Amino acid sequence: TQMKHMGLSPHTLIPLFTGIFLGIAYGAGVIIKISKEKALPKTDMWFMGLFLATCHAVVEDTLLFIVIGGIGAWIIIPRLLIAFFLSIGVILMMKKR
């Protein structure tokens, strides 16, 4: 899977999608549940926390901004790219230690 290519366990996929689409509160709940059940590595926890801190509730936020005249692609794409590259950068720095 794509998560393995990034050095993450496949168990990070569900919490990430939950946080991205439903918000940080739901995402955090799923992260806590899965981390207790699967004993996720520290890097996975860091990645999910950082990613969701920079990019959560994408659907809700984008729809709110579209209603007031924003352009959806100009809201979603930069948020996803910044969250992805920032998170990958932190993971790479953590692995070098």
Q: Give the predicted TM-score (pTM) of the model.
A: 0.75
Tell me how far apart the alpha carbons of residues 89 and 35 are, in angstroms, rounded to a whole number.
Answer: 22
The model's confidence at residue 44, banded by pLDDT at 50, 70 and 90, is: confident
pLDDT value, residue 4: 64
pLDDT value, residue 5: 63
pLDDT value, residue 77: 92
The pLDDT of 2-27, averaged and rounded, is: 78
The pLDDT of 16-33, averaged and rounded, is: 84
Q: Are residues 95 and 6 in contact, defined by beta-carbon separation less than 8 angstroms?
A: no
Sequential DSSP letters for the chain: -HHHHTT--GGGHHHHHHHHHH-HHHHHHHHHHHHHHH---HHHHHHHHHHHHHS--HHHHHHHHHHTT--HHHHHHHHHHHHHHHHHHHHHHHHH-
pLDDT value, residue 28: 84
pLDDT value, residue 91: 79
Return the number of other C-beta atoms located less than 10 Å from residue 23's C-beta: 17
